[in-house]
Amino acid sequence: MPRSTRRHFLAQSAAAATIAALPIRGLAQDSAPATLKSAVAPQSAVTPGLRVGCCVAARLLRDDPAYAALVKQQMNILVAENEFKFGPIHPQPTAFFFDDADTIINFAEHNGMKMRGHNFVWHRALPPWFATYVTPANAEQVLVNHIETVAGRYKFRIHSWDVVNEAIQVSDGLPNGMRNSPWQKVLPNYIDIAYRTARKADPHALLTYNDYDIEGEDEASSAKRGAVLALVRGMQQRGVPIDAVGIQSHLSASPTPNPKYTYGPKLEQFQKDVQSLGLKMMLTEMDVNDRYLPADIPTRDAAVADVYTSYLRTALANPAVIALLTWGITDKYTWLNHEGSRKDGQPERCLPFDADLKPKPAFSSEYIALRAAARR
Ligand code: XIL
* C-beta of 236 in contact with ligand 1 (< 6 A): no
Is pTM beyond 0.85? Reply is yes
- What is the CB neighbour count within 10 angstroms for residue 339? 9
- What's at 165, amino acid-wise? N
Q: How far is the CA of 305 from the centre of ligand 1 (A)?
A: 22
Report d(CA 334, CA 355) in Å as an integer.
Answer: 9
81, 83, 166, 215: which is the annotated catalytic residue? Answer: 166
Per-residue pLDDT of the chain (376 residues; tens, 9 = 90+): 444 333 333 333 333 434 444 544 444 455 678 999 999 987 666 666 799 999 999 999 999 999 999 999 999 999 999 999 999 999 999 999 999 999 999 999 999 999 999 999 999 999 999 999 999 999 999 999 999 999 999 999 999 999 999 999 999 999 999 999 999 999 999 999 999 999 999 999 999 999 999 999 999 999 999 999 999 999 999 999 999 999 999 999 999 999 999 999 999 999 999 999 999 999 999 999 999 999 999 999 999 999 999 999 999 999 999 999 999 999 999 999 999 889 999 999 999 999 999 999 999 999 999 999 977 6
Pairwise CA distance, residues 256 & 322, whole Å: 32
Q: How far is the CA of 263 from the centre of ligand 1 (A)?
A: 22
Q: What is the pLDDT of residue 31?
A: 60
Decide whether any atom of ligand 1 lies within 6 Å of the 287 Cβ.
Answer: no
Centre of ligand 1 from the C-alpha of residue 81, in Å: 6
User: Are residues 214 and 270 in contact, defined by beta-carbon separation less than 8 angstroms?
Assistant: yes
Q: What is the pLDDT of residue 42?
A: 72
Residue nearest atom 9 in ligand 1 by C-alpha distance:
82
Is 285 one of the catalytic residues? yes
DSSP class per residue in 293-320:
S-S-HHHHHHHHHHHHHHHHHHHTTSTT
Instruction: Please tell me the predicted confidence (pLDDT) of residue 320.
Output: 95
Q: What's the N-to-C CA distance of the chain in angstroms? A: 37
Among this protein's residues, is 83 annotated catalytic?
no
For ligand 1, is residue 335 a contact (CB within 6 Å)? yes
Catalytic residue among 83, 215, 285, 348: 285
* Cα separations in angstroms, 289 against 66, 250, 343: 24, 8, 12
Q: Residue 322 in contact with residue 49, Cβ under 8 Å?
A: yes
Q: Is the CB of 82 under 6 A from ligand 1?
A: yes
Q: With CA atoms as reference, report the closest residue to 232 among 293, 163, 180.
A: 163
Enumerate the H helices of the chain as residue ranges: 3-12, 14-20, 36-39, 58-63, 65-74, 86-89, 99-110, 129-133, 139-153, 182-186, 190-201, 219-237, 265-276, 297-315, 361-374
- For residue 181, is it left (φ>0), alpha (ψ between -120 and 50) or beta? beta
Give residue 284's Cα distance to chain centre. Answer: 2
Ligand 1 centroid vs 114 CA: distance in angstroms? 20
The domains located in the chain, with CATH, are 25-372 (3.20.20.80)
Residue 226: is it exposed, middle or buried by C-beta count within 10 angstroms (0-12/13-18/19+)? middle
Give, using CA atoms, the residue closest to atom 16 of ligand 1.
81
| d(CA 201, ligand 1 centre) in Å | 25
Residue 332 CB: number of other CB atoms within 10 A? 18
| Atom of ligand 1 at shortest range from CA of 327 | 3
Task: Decide whether any atom of ligand 1 lies within 6 Å of the 81 Cβ.
Answer: yes
> What is the Cα–Cα distance from 245 to 29, expressed in whole angstroms?
37
What is the model's pLDDT at position 376? 65
Res 315: pLDDT: 98
Instruction: Determine whether the shortest distance from the Cβ of 285 to ligand 1 is under 6 A.
Output: yes
Task: Output the CA 88–ligand 1 centroid distance in Å.
Answer: 12
Integer Cα distance of 104 and 157 in angstroms: 12
Q: What is the CA radius of gyration of the chain?
A: 20
Ligand 1 touching residue 213 (CB < 6 A): no
